[in-house]
Structure 1
Amino acid sequence: MSSHHHHVSFNPHPSKGELSVLFSGHAQTNPLHKVGPQVLDYYLVHYVVSGEGTFRCMGQDYHLERGGSFFIFPGELVSYESDELNPWSYRWVGFKGNRADEYLHMLGLSQHRPVNMTKQHRKLNALFHQLDHKLQARLPNSDLQSQGYLRLILAEYAQSHHETNVPKEEASGIQQQIEQAIRWLTLQHNQPISIEQMAQSLGYHRTHLSKMFKQHTGMSPMNFLLKIRMERARLLLQDTLTVEQVASSVGFGDALYFSKQFKKWFGRSPSEYRQDQTTNPYDCNE
């Protein structure tokens, strides 16, 4: 007998601005319940109430248990799956806003660091519950109230980030350099860029930045850039763009060289990958 159940509450009149809640919900999932791979055009945070499971983003797997949260960013290909023996129960909130990305980066969250662990389990669970309750009520001021609860939720994540990131001043400075470099590469991935340009733009010595980057990420800056480009190309190939247009969109002036790099990365040419997607479309349902 299926134990899966879930509930969703929608905001009938989401506002436009810094931060706005679109919907919220909660679910007790079945063993091995899987969502995706899928791409969203809004932000979505899941908070794990109990159980465990795996979240996959940018080719990385994250195992999350009670008290863990995973954040989905717009335009990123993600999937997540409940554990076979101890499946997830989680709450979620979908939101948008012209400062949402800025706020999440202030909390140390990005496509490359999309998870958070907190000790404030009961408090966060209560805030997610209260936000959901306000949307269920469908009152005229439910939009403002849900915004308020979302800000309180983000404040709890900010507190958690502060408590778990109190490194020495020197280490903090290096971490800041790496975060700046990752953000720069992510924003500039569609341009024909070099590590010299990045180092000059950020005001760091090239050799020092490359060494610190590899120590913290396990990859050289150029390999990291290639990873960003390949993941983005994989998303774009699900659209109607030509291979040449996809190559240009991720910073490759030569479509043939792009195709060789793509095949080296994924084991299939762009055309073969697109054909596979056509014959095996992904399921986006929760």
Structure 2
Amino acid sequence: MHELIFSVFPNENFVDLGLYQYGWEQCEPSHSYGPAARNHYLFHYVISGTGTLMSDDSNGVTQTFQVKSGQGFMLFPGQITTYIADKNLPWEYAWVEFDGLRAKGAVELACLSMNQPIYHARSKDMRENMVKEMMYLVEHKDMPPLHLIGHVYLFLDFLTRSAVHMTAPKTGRLRDFYIKEALTYMEQNFQNDISVEDIAATCGLNRSYFGKIFKESLGKTPQEFLLNYRMVKAAELLKLTGLSIGDISNAVGYANQLHFSRAFKNMYGLAPREWRNQNRLMIPT
């Protein structure tokens, strides 16, 4: 019998780690999804049964994997995939779709890639704890957003620590220090007219090298991170305050309200005023 529990996370204002949707399913024989591409990372853990994953590798060539209970598989943003439950022993799985500035590093730490998307655990205890965190999300969908995001961090912690081949992060201590300095500078100065050169100078690096290590570490360019951070802050102000669009534009570093509105619409699909009307939580009196 086909059973499904499915939830969509309602809050978009988490930059480091965002949760998009999560669920559990007991599939019918030969039940399939795809071919399709996701916008974010999507991890499935197979609780029982078996099935087949067909996914494009980094060269765009479709690879086929048999996945059984106790294993899992990662789908990557923009990757074309199809997955099919076995006709005799269809799989039961839980899944979490996530993204954010910390997502790419966590997935790499778990030794998962488009060329090697299958999860194998080296520790039964940590694997079981990972599954508990996935099912906690499924069973507690009405908990506050910060509470659920905390359990996504725990899920990723157990995912990375339970991976078969544990490796040290690619970035060294000095590079981590530079990235932390850059993030702190942007978070403290996003409302000002700052440039990538300014951020690089804060770290004592030239612009080209800084941009390279930033993109390698976080999967986004400094410009992309700064834009994303400003728009998330703008969304918070639109949702939680009665400030005018012009005031919010200035508060997130845009002297030109038209430029701000265009950037906001590019990210959220709605003009700031329309987005506020649909997402407003409260207006202080």
* 1:41 match: 39
CA contact (8 A) 1:131 1:145 kept: no
SS in 2 for 1:70: strand
Q: 1:80 aligns with which of 60, 73, 83?
A: 83
SS in 2 for 1:155: helix
CA contact (8 A) 2:52 2:65 kept: yes
Q: Cα distance, 1:133 vs. partner?
A: 2.3
Q: Cα distance, 1:11 vs. partner?
A: 1.3
Question: In 2, Cα distance between the equivalents of 1:44 and 1:79?
Answer: 13
* 2:251 match: none
* 1:157 match: 159
Q: 1:133 aligns with which of 119, 136, 139?
A: 139
Q: Cα distance, 1:122 vs. partner?
A: 3.3
Q: For residues 109-148 of structure 1, what are the alpha-carbon distances to aligned partners after superposition, in whole Å with 9 as ceiling and x for unaligned?
A: 111111112234532322111122232x2x4x2x212222
* 1:112 match: 115
Q: For residues 160-193 of structure 1, what are the alpha-carbon distances to aligned partners after superposition, in whole Å with 9 as ceiling and x for unaligned?
A: 22xx327xxxxx89xx9xxxxxxxxxxxxxxxxx
Q: 2:68 aligns with which of 65, 68, 71?
A: 65
SS in 2 for 1:56: strand
Q: Cα distance, 1:159 vs. partner?
A: 1.8
- The number of equivalent residue pairs is 161
Q: Cα distance, 1:85 vs. partner?
A: 0.7
Give yes or no for the alignment of 1:123 onto 2:129.
yes
Question: In 2, Cα distance between the equivalents of 1:34 and 1:152?
Answer: 29
* 1:144 match: 146
* 1:22 match: 20
Question: In 2, Cα distance between the equivalents of 1:158 and 1:98?
Answer: 16
Question: In 1, Cα distance between the equivalents of 2:13 and 2:47?
Answer: 28
- Unaligned residue ranges in structure 1 (runs of 5+): 167-171, 177-286
* 1:6 match: 4
Question: In 2, Cα distance between the equivalents of 1:71 and 1:145?
Answer: 24
Counterpart residue identity of residue 152, structure 1: L
* 1:102 match: 105
SS in 2 for 1:124: helix
Question: In 2, Cα distance between the equivalents of 1:145 and 1:47?
Answer: 22
- Unaligned residue ranges in structure 2 (runs of 5+): 57-61, 171-285
Q: Cα distance, 1:14 vs. partner?
A: 3.0
Counterpart residue identity of residue 148, structure 2: S
Counterpart residue identity of residue 46, structure 1: H
Matches within 5 A, 1:99-248: 99-118=102-121, 119-120=124-125, 121-135=127-141, 137=142, 139=143, 141=144, 143-161=145-163, 164-165=164-165
- Per the normalisation by structure 2, the TM-score is 0.53
How much identity, in percent, do the aligned residues show?
29
List 4+ stretches of structure 1 deviating above 6 A.
none
- Per the normalisation by structure 1, the TM-score is 0.53
Q: Cα distance, 1:103 vs. partner?
A: 1.6
Q: For residues 30-70 of structure 1, what are the alpha-carbon distances to aligned partners after superposition, in whole Å with 9 as ceiling and x for unaligned?
A: 11111101011111111111000011112111111111111
